[in-house]
Amino acid sequence: MSKEMTREGILVAALELFSNKGYSSVTTKDIAERACISEMTLFRHFKTKRDIFKTLLEGMLFPPAIKRFEMDQFTWDLKKDLTMMSNILKDVISKNRKIIKMNMKDIDGLSENDDSFMSFPENLRNILIKYFDEYNRKNNGTNDPKLLAATFLSFLFGLNMNYFIVNAFTTDIGYEEVSSLFIEMFISKV
């Protein structure tokens, strides 16, 4: 097996185990066994279990989504741009629900000083602040870009958590319908 295939196998095995058992309950030996390699081989690719987890977050899950939020992607039509952002976040959270659930389930097992998981929402927040700042400039707006970004992200994260992570309340109303109504209400205040 090639080095790249072995590394990928380790990450796939770790994601499955972390998602099912939580970070603290999984050992490097468990990951190696699931990946059908020796623990020594695992350590040739990753120094620690934490390195595996960080690689999952930083390399596989979130950076491709952040690239979809580049400023040159925006049309400066508020409804279109906010809908695009909502759909991208929906895609990221729904596709990565396992690792998000694992992180939530085992928050105490993960170092409080490690910002790997929080870098994604922080990056989104910064992009949105820049977006709303530029939107204000283009449209003579006066709303606080930080407040707009916080409000929009709070809604989106809550919506996505309900639909894809915790299912806090069940509804027969679709994600897009709820998102669309919020965006309309949000735009009316911008």
pLDDT for 24-51, tens place per residue?
889 999 999 999 999 999 999 999 998 9
Structure tokens belonging to residue 49: 């279990």
Mean pLDDT, to the nearest integer, of 102-130? 69
**Type of residue numbered 173:** I
Determine the Cα–Cα distance for residues 72 and 162; give it in Å rounded to an integer: 30
pLDDT reported for residue 34: 97
Q: How many residues does the chain have?
A: 190
DSSP class of residue 172?
S
Contact 50, 114 (CB under 8 A): yes
pLDDT reported for residue 113: 45
Q: Which residue has the higher pLDDT, 127 or 167?
A: 127
